[in-house]
Chains A and B, each alone.
Chain A
Amino acid sequence: MPKSISGAEIVFKCLEDQNVDFIFGYPGGAVLPIYDELKNHSSIKHILVRHEQGAGHAAEGYARSSGKPGVVLVTSGPGATNVVTALTDAYMDSVPLVCISGQVPTHLIGTDAFQECDTTGITRPCTKHNWLVKDIKDLSKIIHKAFEVATTGRPGPVLVDIPKDIQFQKTNYSKFKKENKSNGKIHNNFNHKDIDKLVKLMSKAKKPIFYTGGGVINSGPKASELLRELVSITGFPITSTLQGLGCYPGDDNLFLGMLGMHGTYEANNAMHDCDLMINIGARFDDRITGKIDEFSPKSKKVHIDIDPSSINKNVKVDLPIVGDVQSVISAIVKTIKKTKPNFVKSNKQQISKWWEQIGKWREKKSLEYINSNETIKPQYAVQRLYELTKNKDTFITTEVGQHQMWAAQHYKFDKPNRWMTSGGLGTMGYGLPAAVGVQIAHPNKLVVDIAGEASVLMTIQEMSTAVQYNLPIKIFILNNEYMGMVRQWQELLHDKNYSESYSAALPDFVKLAEAYGCVGIRAKTPEELDDKIIEMINTDRPVIFDCLVDKQENCFPMIPSGKPHNQMLLGPKDQEKNKITGKGKTLV
């Protein structure tokens, strides 16, 4: 006869059965029974954050860099509402999170009790599913189901709301048995005829392109390996979305760089002019497509995605293949090897003109900028950071804004799971706590948050977490005193009316670092930059790096709003060459 145990203990039994090593959380009245139980479960380490949003983003960083679900534990009311931003972020970027929240006792639900809120109501639109546990007998089943929902199909966040009385009540716990029965929500039964069709399209294509996204990363490291094989046996050009960076080596010659609003000239023009677009695990986001009506008008479009609702959502495709990226690519590679063993050779001639054209676009060197000897250009700072850290298997997180785009453009990733950024929701303040989570998952690796001074202040309190757990994260701030991307849009779209985008008061980041008990470093000139970066890398403690950069620099290239891919705005060098006057800019 199994012993009867409390709801709080059941929570931990479930986490143990799910092989959870870390939970990110913050205690409070309605979760105290669970916190009380923590001491009896040594295999699970709790990371105490400074704000529940930080717990959510840290769990996201942990999940994205390790491939395991992130677990968050928060209290009722404000604890739950504070985590909503992180849940929404995870929902948009398909990150598996399991959030456990405390709730007021069952008999008080609906009475506007202290720290009560309708947690399941509030989080319903920002989770894959959520549960309010009303009966202790359902608790273990629900938690295991929660892990299943979070990690299968297109991953995402889930929430389990547990009233305090349920945490105290007792029942039996039976060990978790993984069911192989499908719940009907996971789609991986793609038709092999569709694979044959795709291979046929590929063998006919004269201007093909692979357009890959975060789905490749979510499908696991094997998917990235298979993708590399697929690209090498076809010789097709490949471009990636923001979230997909790292699934294909960034310095490879077949890689055209990132596409989209701040993507490279060659990637966007290739997307516009191609005759076969193979979308692997991306979702035709509006930052990628630009103007939908003029998006890649001449191409046949193939879409490989595990989520059937992503197909035909924004862009109508000719051949949808619903399935896990890894299994689909594996099937494509097998089919090509079997039916067309000499694909690359036989195909080379056919797509040589296409590569010639791409070469011409490349000559534009759309990521170039005018460097300076006096001030540090932000692009230069990212490039130097890349050069000095590329051999260290570095993990990069970012906040949101110009610095994020510069990081995506100039930092070249060659492995998946090394790049953590808030793409869908665009959450300023994501990078610092995400770096905490990444460092937890990879204690001996170099973790750098490429940040902006405005974003980082939104979650700066998590430095305290980093110090508490000796997490040597590096916060690399490109400090231009502006909300840079807002400033850029105001310059280009709102007649230089810089409304509220300048931070007239900022903390001294070096002193701030010292106040938190970590190390502050400041770089003011290009000359000293390398030495300071090396100093940062060699510091085995958390570092805030205040990199004072050019305040006016804009992030180019850029697809202006409502424009198709082939009408990009290029950087100042090109503008000088082509003499784009003030009039050209108002076209934006």
Chain B
Amino acid sequence: MSKSKSAYSIPGKKGKLDTHIIVVWVDNEAGVLARVVGLFSGRGYNIESLAVAEIDSKLNISRITIVTTGTPQVIDQIKLQLKKLVPVHKVADFKREDKQVIFKEMALFKLVGNNNKRNKALKACKKFNAVILDKTNKSCVIQITALRRDIDKMSKNLKQFGLVSISRTGAVAMTRGAETFK
């Protein structure tokens, strides 16, 4: 082993990284998002995407959906640390591969070009619930909902059809069947 000059220990073996979707129910109050995000940045956890909105205006509850990667140990820490925050009510977590959970992202594509190009673009988007939100002689805005990697693929794909602007959300998640998150 190489000679360590640090007063701290040398890093141990890195475990395998998994992608997890973490859903957090919080009081919708000032600074709550900063607390959650600050916990991630402060402890060196990773955020791939983030979606947050109020879901119950009466109880004042917001639902935060975070896509993150980490070793099983890190994922456990994330959940336990989140649960310690005062405005956090509950935390759910599942693996991206989990078949019991649906998760979706939405993207808006703005395309500029002739009719032919735009029609081709629309055709390419067909299987992702494409909706045309705006249309002019020269341009259109297409909305799709899909998985992250499909949107990644589409945004590359559409370049040839005059894609000029992309806007996309973080993933949101919901369990299949009658079950709800514990």
Task: List residues of chain A with CB within 8 A of the CB of B73.
Answer: 312-313, 316
Question: Restricting to A105-144, which residues have a CB under 8 Å from any CB of B?
Answer: 120-121, 124-125, 128-129, 132, 134
Contact between chains at A125 and B38 (CB < 8 Å): yes
Contact between chains at A286 and B9 (CB < 8 Å): yes
The one of A120, A308, A316, A561 in contact with B6, judged by C-beta atoms closer than 8 angstroms, is A561
CA distance A293 to B1 in the complex (A): 13
Question: Restricting to B25-81, which residues have a CB under 8 Å from any CB of A?
Answer: 30-31, 34-35, 38, 42, 73, 76-77, 80-81
A307 at the interface (CB under 8 A from B): yes
Residue of B nearest to A311 (CB): B80
Known: A124-B31, A308-B80. A286 touches B86 (CB 8 A): no
Interface size class of A (residues with CB under 8 A): 20 to 34
B138 at the interface (CB under 8 A from A): no
Residue of A nearest to B39 (CB): A125
Residue of A nearest to B82 (CB): A309
Contact between chains at B5 and A132 (CB < 8 Å): no
B10 at the interface (CB under 8 A from A): yes
Contact between chains at B84 and A185 (CB < 8 Å): yes
Known: A124-B31, A312-B73. A493 touches B86 (CB 8 A): no
A35 at the interface (CB under 8 A from B): no
The one of B4, B9, B31, B42 in contact with A125, judged by C-beta atoms closer than 8 angstroms, is B42
CA distance A489 to B81 in the complex (A): 34
Task: List residues of chain A with CB within 8 A of the CB of B34.
Answer: 121, 124
Counting chain A CB atoms within 10 Å of each CB, which of B12, B77, B84, B85 scores highest? B84
Q: How far is the CB of A137 from chain B (nearest CB, A)?
A: 15
B95 at the interface (CB under 8 A from A): no
Task: List residues of chain B with CB within 8 A of the CB of A120.
Answer: 31
Interface size class of B (residues with CB under 8 A): 20 to 34
A290 at the interface (CB under 8 A from B): yes
Contact between chains at B86 and A129 (CB < 8 Å): yes
The one of A292, A312, A493 in contact with B5, judged by C-beta atoms closer than 8 angstroms, is A493
Residue of A nearest to B89 (CB): A184
Q: How far is the CB of B73 from chain A (nearest CB, A)?
A: 6
Contact between chains at B8 and A291 (CB < 8 Å): no
Known: A125-B38, A125-B42. A493 touches B7 (CB 8 A): yes
Task: List residues of chain A with CB within 8 A of the CB of B85.
Answer: 129
Task: List residues of chain B with CB within 8 A of the CB of A312.
Answer: 73, 76-77
B16 at the interface (CB under 8 A from A): no
Known: A124-B38, A494-B5, A562-B4. A309 touches B81 (CB 8 A): yes
Residue of A nearest to B7 (CB): A561
B83 at the interface (CB under 8 A from A): yes
Q: How far is the CB of A90 from chain B (nearest CB, A)?
A: 16
Q: How far is the CB of B153 from chain A (nearest CB, A)?
A: 37
A547 at the interface (CB under 8 A from B): no
Contact between chains at A149 and B86 (CB < 8 Å): yes
B13 at the interface (CB under 8 A from A): yes
Residue of A nearest to B79 (CB): A309
CA distance A128 to B76 in the complex (A): 19
CA distance A561 to B7 in the complex (A): 5
Task: List residues of chain B with CB within 8 A of the CB of A184.
Answer: 89
Counting chain B CB atoms within 10 Å of each CB, which of A183, A290, A493, A561 scores highest? A561
CA distance A587 to B88 in the complex (A): 48
Contact between chains at B77 and A309 (CB < 8 Å): yes
Q: Please report whether the interface of chain B is mostly helix, strand, loop or mixed according to DSSP.
A: loop
Question: Restricting to A288-342, which residues have a CB under 8 Å from any CB of B?
Answer: 289-293, 307-309, 311-313, 316
CA distance A413 to B114 in the complex (A): 84
Question: Restricting to A67-123, which residues have a CB under 8 Å from any CB of B?
Answer: 120-121
Contact between chains at B6 and A562 (CB < 8 Å): yes
Contact between chains at A561 and B86 (CB < 8 Å): no
Task: List residues of chain B with CB within 8 A of the CB of A134.
Answer: 30
Contact between chains at B80 and A128 (CB < 8 Å): no
Q: How far is the CB of A537 from chain B (nearest CB, A)?
A: 36
Question: Restricting to A274-291, which residues have a CB under 8 Å from any CB of B?
Answer: 286, 289-291
Contact between chains at A132 and B30 (CB < 8 Å): yes
Contact between chains at A562 and B76 (CB < 8 Å): no
Task: List residues of chain B with CB within 8 A of the CB of A494.
Answer: 5
Question: Restricting to A385-401, which residues have a CB under 8 Å from any CB of B?
Answer: none
Known: A120-B31, A185-B86. A286 touches B8 (CB 8 A): yes
Task: List residues of chain B with CB within 8 A of the CB of A311.
Answer: 80
Q: How far is the CB of B161 from chain A (nearest CB, A)?
A: 44
Known: A307-B84, A562-B4. A291 touches B9 (CB 8 A): yes
Counting chain B CB atoms within 10 Å of each CB, which of A132, A316, A493, A586 scores highest? A493
Task: List residues of chain B with CB within 8 A of the CB of A125.
Answer: 38, 42
Q: How far is the CB of B74 from chain A (nearest CB, A)?
A: 10
Contact between chains at B81 and A293 (CB < 8 Å): no
Contact between chains at B8 and A128 (CB < 8 Å): no
CA distance A309 to B84 in the complex (A): 8
Known: A124-B31, A313-B77. A293 touches B4 (CB 8 A): no
Task: List residues of chain A with CB within 8 A of the CB of B7.
Answer: 489, 493, 561
Contact between chains at B86 and A308 (CB < 8 Å): no
Mask, A548-563, CB within 8 Å of B = 1, is 0000000000000110
Contact between chains at B9 and A562 (CB < 8 Å): yes
Known: A290-B9, A292-B9, A562-B10. A308 touches B83 (CB 8 A): yes
Known: A309-B80, A312-B76, A316-B73. A128 touches B31 (CB 8 A): no
CA distance A207 to B30 in the complex (A): 52
Q: How far is the CB of A315 from chain B (nearest CB, A)?
A: 10
Task: List residues of chain B with CB within 8 A of the CB of A286.
Answer: 8-9
CA distance A5 to B170 in the complex (A): 47
CA distance A494 to B31 in the complex (A): 44
CA distance A291 to B6 in the complex (A): 12
CA distance A494 to B3 in the complex (A): 12
Q: How far is the CB of A92 from chain B (nearest CB, A)?
A: 13
- List 28 A-B pairs, Cβ < 8 Å: A124-B31, A124-B35, A124-B38, A125-B38, A129-B86, A149-B86, A183-B86, A185-B84, A291-B9, A292-B9, A292-B12, A293-B12, A307-B84, A309-B80, A309-B81, A309-B83, A309-B84, A312-B76, A312-B77, A313-B73, A313-B77, A489-B7, A561-B7, A561-B9, A561-B10, A562-B1, A562-B10, A587-B3
- Please give 9 more A-B residue pairs, beta carbons under 8 A apart, in addition to A124-B34, A132-B30, A289-B9: A120-B31, A128-B84, A129-B85, A132-B31, A134-B30, A183-B86, A307-B84, A309-B80, A311-B80
Q: Which residues of A approach B to under 8 Å, CB–CB?
A: 120-121, 124-125, 128-129, 132, 134, 149, 183-185, 286, 289-293, 307-309, 311-313, 316, 489, 493-494, 561-562, 586-587
Instruction: Identify the 4 closest CB pairs spanning chains A and B, nearest first.
Output: A309-B80, A562-B4, A129-B86, A562-B10
